[in-house]
């Protein structure tokens, strides 16, 4: 068949958590351009609604740390659109603090959004996809799930991202023979709100860029096509894989 047809998502209904801005917004655009009906799911309704309107997609609010709120949002997508075919679980936060002084609540907050939240979203999507007998889940991991970043301290973030990659493999194994694929995409440094503060710190920026073989951070749009690949039939034999998109950061 036609190669571009393999990457097409016509007739598919997709949700992207953390889709209001940054990498999530670029994923929303790519899924939409591939033909999907896309719902932005985000804790921030102001930015989320504005982004949805700008790109001609829909918005549904949820806090991924609250499993009931995730269930309600994913049910909204499934019932409004008639199915849930693609779930991109991308919402995430970072907290930079030396571990010896890290407060319980800061550890918990990062784990809660970046790991508990991904599990709640996978479970909510998986339930519906298993019932349909089809679906593709793509979680946003990070190179931080493979290496520990420097010079900035972020042990909770790195740990949560390693958890996302292994959760992805665990669910992939459970659901593979029932039509549901589960994969992750692990970006290197990407220019977004999340990295703005770090990029304005001369020392951090020098290390981040200098330790990236390509000598630059990514644009959000450079991450999104990897998600389309895994979400679509182009990735039909991929499950449990982590696709690293990091400008070579992890080769050193
Ligand atoms: P961002 O801060 O620009 O966007 C994150 C989005 O997630 C925001 O719209 C925010 O409102 C939403 N969000 C936060 N908490 C939420 C919650 N509890 N429930 C629902 N939505 C919530 O960040 P980004 O750089 O676009 O990051 C997106 C994902 O990519 C994250 O998982 C991040 O860890 C990962 N990532 C980012 C980089 C990078 O360098 N920027 C690198 C690797 C991985």
d(CA 207, CA 110): 24
Tell me what ipTM this predicted complex has: 0.99
Is 157 among the catalytic positions? yes
**Ligand 1 centre distance from Cα of residue 186 (Å):** 13
Per-residue pLDDT, 1: 67
Query: For the CA atoms of 78, 82, 86, 87, what is the dihedral angle to 10 degrees?
Result: -10
Residues 165-224 pLDDT 10s: 999 999 999 999 999 999 999 999 999 999 999 999 999 999 999 999 999 999 999 999
pLDDT above 70 covers a percentage of the chain that reads: 100
From 23, 73, 190, 222, give the residue whose CB has the most ligand 1 atoms within 8 Å, as the site to mutate. Answer: 23
Q: 3-245 has which fold? A: Rossmann fold (3.40.50)
The distance in angstroms from the start CA to the end CA of the chain is 39
Q: What are the pLDDT digits (tens) for 80-113?
A: 999 999 999 999 999 999 999 999 999 999 999 9
**Strand 58-61 with 86-89, pairing:** unpaired
Q: Indicate if the pLDDT at residue 139 is higher than 70.
A: yes
> Helix, strand, coil: what percent of the chain each, to 5?
55, 15, 30
CA-112 nearest atom, ligand 1: 18
The torsion of the CA quartet 49, 229, 217, 167, rounded to 10 degrees, works out to 80
Give SS3 for 87.
Answer: strand
**Partners of 139 in beta bridges:** 89, 184
User: 160: pLDDT confidence band, cut at 50, 70 and 90?
Assistant: very high
Instruction: Tell me what the pLDDT averaged over the chain comes to.
Output: 98
Expressed in angstroms and rounded, the spacing between residue 94 Cα and the centre of ligand 1 is 8
Q: Where are the domains of the chain?
A: 3-245
Strand partners for 242: 184
Residue 107 · residue 114 · CB < 8 Å: no
Question: Rounded to the nearest 5°, which phi and psi values hold at 83?
Answer: -165, 165
CA 91 from centroid of its chain's CA atoms: 6
Cα-to-centroid distance, 92 and ligand 1 (Å)? 4
């Amino acid at each position: 068949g036609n190669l571009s047809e393999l990457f097409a998502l016509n007739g598919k209904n997709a949700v992207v958590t953390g889709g209001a801005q940054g990498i999530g917004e670029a994923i929303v655009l790519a899924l939409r351009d591939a033909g999907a009906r896309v719902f932005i799911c985000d804790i921030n309704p102001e930015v989320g609604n504005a982004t949805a309107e700008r790109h001609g997609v829909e918005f549904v609010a949820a806090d991924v740390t609250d499993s009931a709120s995730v269930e309600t949002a994913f049910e909204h997508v499934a019932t409004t659109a008639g199915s849930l075919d693609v779930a991109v679980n991308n919402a995430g936060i970072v907290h930079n603090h030396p571990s010896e002084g890290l407060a319980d609540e800061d550890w918990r907050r990062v784990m809660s959004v970046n790991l508990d939240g991904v599990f709640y979203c996978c479970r909510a999507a998986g339930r519906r996809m298993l019932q349909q007998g089809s679906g593709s889940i793509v979680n946003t991991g990070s190179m931080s799930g493979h290496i520990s970043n420097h010079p900035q301290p972020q042990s909770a973030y790195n740990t949560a991202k390693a958890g996302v990659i292994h959760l992805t493999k665990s669910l992939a194994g459970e659901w593979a023979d029932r039509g549901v694929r589960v994969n992750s995409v692990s970006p290197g440094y990407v220019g977004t709100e999340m990295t703005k503060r770090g990029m304005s710190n001369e020392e951090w920026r020098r290390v981040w860029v200098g330790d990236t073989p390509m000598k630059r951070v990514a644009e959000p749009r450079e991450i999104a096509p990897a998600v389309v690949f895994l979400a679509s039939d182009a990735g039909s034999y991929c499950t449990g894989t982590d696709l690293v998109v990091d400008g070579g950061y992890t080769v050193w």
